[in-house]
Amino acid sequence: MQNHLTNSSALYRTGISPNRRLLKVPSGPYAGRMAVLVQTSPTEIKLSRSDYPYTYWTVPTLMISDTADYPFDAVMDTEGNIYAAYTLNSNNDLAVRKLTFSSGVWSAGALNALYNGDDNYYPSINIEPSGRLWVSWSRLSSGQYYINVKYSTDGGVNWSGGPTSYGTTLSAGATSAYSKIVVSDPYLYAFYSLGGIKLALRAKHSSASLWDDEIELASGSALDHDFDAAGSVDGRIGVVFDDNRIRFREFDGNIWGALIDIDAAAGSFPQLKYFNNSPYIVYLTSYGAGQSKMMYSCRLTDNFESPAILDSVKNALSKVFCYRAANGNYKDLTTAAADATAGDIYHADSGVVFKDSGDALYLGLDRKYNYLKIILSAGGSGGMVSWQYFNGEVWIGFVPSGGNYHFTVADKELLLWNDYSSLPGDWQKSNLNGAEKFWLKVAVTSPFSTGPVGTRITCIPNPSGIILME
């Protein structure tokens, strides 16, 4: 189920790959209730909640109003309380705020200072079974970034060494640094990338005071924040990352295995989760022109499966027909709509997509869909179109949620309906020109003086990231 929660003007709308913001209450009378934290503006973080089957989400409620326009991270304890680690907008200090869970709702508590020196970015927060909180983050000092860690034993109120201490420095200085804290009892793991050229980790037993020496997991040329790490119930630890290809490596409890290439093509925002001790990897791969497909791969036996599209709706259209009213002729433009060839979407009789009253563009997919990415080589002028879907008997007109679009703007991301739950219940498959699909009809209602010419029309959006449930 896809749901539209809110719009965001923040720079990092979904944070960075190591972050988690989607959390589930583990036990008690509200077990299964989900909460998602979203940075809706450069300074605000809001919370929305939902219960199974997660069809409807509440209007986001303001929780934090003093964050900087940088990624934050969150973790939930066994009682449903949420701890959010973030950069303060006033001075780039690092802070943690507890969102207390009571009677099924969350409320924001006091601000707790973690470190008030240097500039601090990209926190990762996690919690040990004992309740001890850990935060790793990127500390900028004298032009170099360092990975630092601190802990709290009192629910985030006080942090080791006090707010003037930067805690333990895990890494050498670098031009960039990103980290993620992973708990796999009885060990704590800090994964980090440095300077775009190294992916490494340091580990610590829960009873030890010192961190083990650094282990280098990979070297490369594009190792930034596009990585994720997770543990399995049976004690394995995996890490997935992008270095101009999607790669995976796993610790089996004794040794780190060889690097495995999941996708030879580059990707972004990789996410890793173990289900029934099998690793699942989700990531974004560019389709060009502001479009990204959401892909996944998993290892259910010995090897990872070939990457596949996670949501088949977010794909190329199954069929595209251009109809010319003057002669009743359909032109199949399915291939042209999917490829990136400029100016190849037009009817051969008119040289444009549509122009005269009665001309139409038919867009078909095997499932209902709610979004279109439309790229034109030349926008139309002087005309108007209506948007319609078929209910099994007649064509029903509607106004797209993103507003009326008349093929005048050359690059358009058009939201047809806000989310999957808003799709018309009476939208039916129908047979058009020999193809049985869910059809949308874009019909000319007012003639164009100059008709549009298209380059690409798909259902593929350009998501900024993916958030998996912690």
Q: For the segment 271-288, what is each residue's pLDDT rounded down to a tens digit? A: 999 999 999 999 999 998
Residue 74 CA to residue 184 CA, distance in Å, equals 17
Q: What is the per-residue pLDDT for 307? A: 97
Q: Which pLDDT tens digit goes with each residue over 286-322?
A: 998 889 999 999 999 999 999 999 998 999 999 999 9
- Give Cα separations from 207 to 67, 128, 151, 457 (angstroms): 34, 12, 14, 57
Q: What is the per-residue pLDDT for 102? A: 97
pLDDT confidence bin for 2, thresholds 50/70/90? low
* Spatial contact of 397 and 389, defined as CB atoms under 8 Å apart: no
- The answer to whether residue 467 scores a pLDDT higher than 90 is no
Average pLDDT rounded to a whole number, residues 16-31 = 96
pLDDT confidence bin for 465, thresholds 50/70/90? confident
pLDDT confidence bin for 6, thresholds 50/70/90? confident
Residue 237 CA to residue 231 CA, distance in Å, equals 4
- The answer to whether residue 4 scores a pLDDT higher than 90 is no
More confident residue, 185 or 174: 174
Residues 6 or more apart in contact with residue 291 via CB below 8 angstroms: 373, 458, 460, 461, 462
Q: What is the per-residue pLDDT for 290? A: 87
Average pLDDT rounded to a whole number, residues 140-165 = 97
- The answer to whether residue 356 scores a pLDDT higher than 60 is yes
The upper half-sphere exposure of residue 130, i.e. CA atoms within 13 Å in the direction of its Cβ, equals 14
Both tokens of 66, joined, read 């003093």
Both tokens of 56, joined, read 């409807």
Residue 230 CA to residue 470 CA, distance in Å, equals 10
Q: What is the per-residue pLDDT for 464? A: 81
Average pLDDT rounded to a whole number, residues 396-419 = 95
* Spatial contact of 402 and 463, defined as CB atoms under 8 Å apart: no
Q: What is the per-residue pLDDT for 1? A: 56
Percentage above 90 pLDDT, the chain: 94
Residue 113 CA to residue 68 CA, distance in Å, equals 14
pLDDT confidence bin for 391, thresholds 50/70/90? very high
Residue 433: how many other CB atoms lie within 10 Å:
13
Both tokens of 98, joined, read 């507890």
Of 305, 244, 254, nearest to 279 by C-alpha is 305
Residues 6 or more apart in contact with residue 184 via CB below 8 angstroms: 231, 235, 237
Of 461, 449, 451, 285, nearest to 376 by C-alpha is 451
Of 353, 314, 320, 354, nearest to 336 by C-alpha is 320
Instruction: Give the distance, in angstroms, between the CA of residue 278 and the centroid of all CA atoms in the same chain.
Output: 21
- pTM of model > 0.85: yes
Q: Which 3 state secondary structure label does DSSP give 38? A: strand
Residues 6 or more apart in contact with residue 459 via CB below 8 angstroms: 313, 314, 315, 316, 317, 365, 369, 371, 372, 373
- The answer to whether residue 469 scores a pLDDT higher than 90 is no
> Residue with structure tokens 């079974």?
129
Of 279, 228, 268, nearest to 244 by C-alpha is 268
Residue 377 CA to residue 360 CA, distance in Å, equals 18
- The answer to whether residue 83 scores a pLDDT higher than 90 is yes
Residue 257 CA to residue 249 CA, distance in Å, equals 6
- Bridge partners of residue 85, in order along the sequence: 73, 96
Average pLDDT rounded to a whole number, residues 187-209 = 97
- The answer to whether residue 468 scores a pLDDT higher than 80 is no
Both tokens of 159, joined, read 């942090």
Residue 264 CA to residue 134 CA, distance in Å, equals 35
> Residue with structure tokens 């099998």?
278
Average pLDDT rounded to a whole number, residues 88-103 = 97
Of 414, 402, 337, nearest to 371 by C-alpha is 414
Q: Which pLDDT tens digit goes with each residue over 329-345?
A: 999 999 999 999 999 99
> Residue with structure tokens 């495995």?
260
- Give Cα separations from 411 to 314, 315, 406 (angstroms): 18, 18, 12
Average pLDDT rounded to a whole number, residues 203-215 = 96
Q: What is the dihedral of CA 36, 180, 164, 45, to 10 degrees?
A: -20
The upper half-sphere exposure of residue 41, i.e. CA atoms within 13 Å in the direction of its Cβ, equals 10
Average pLDDT rounded to a whole number, residues 45-56 = 94
- The answer to whether residue 192 scores a pLDDT higher than 80 is yes
Q: Which domains are present in the chain? A: 22-309 (2.120.10.10), 319-458 (2.60.120)
Query: What average pLDDT does the chain have?
Result: 96
Percentage above 70 pLDDT, the chain: 99
Q: Which 3 state secondary structure label does DSSP give 334? A: helix
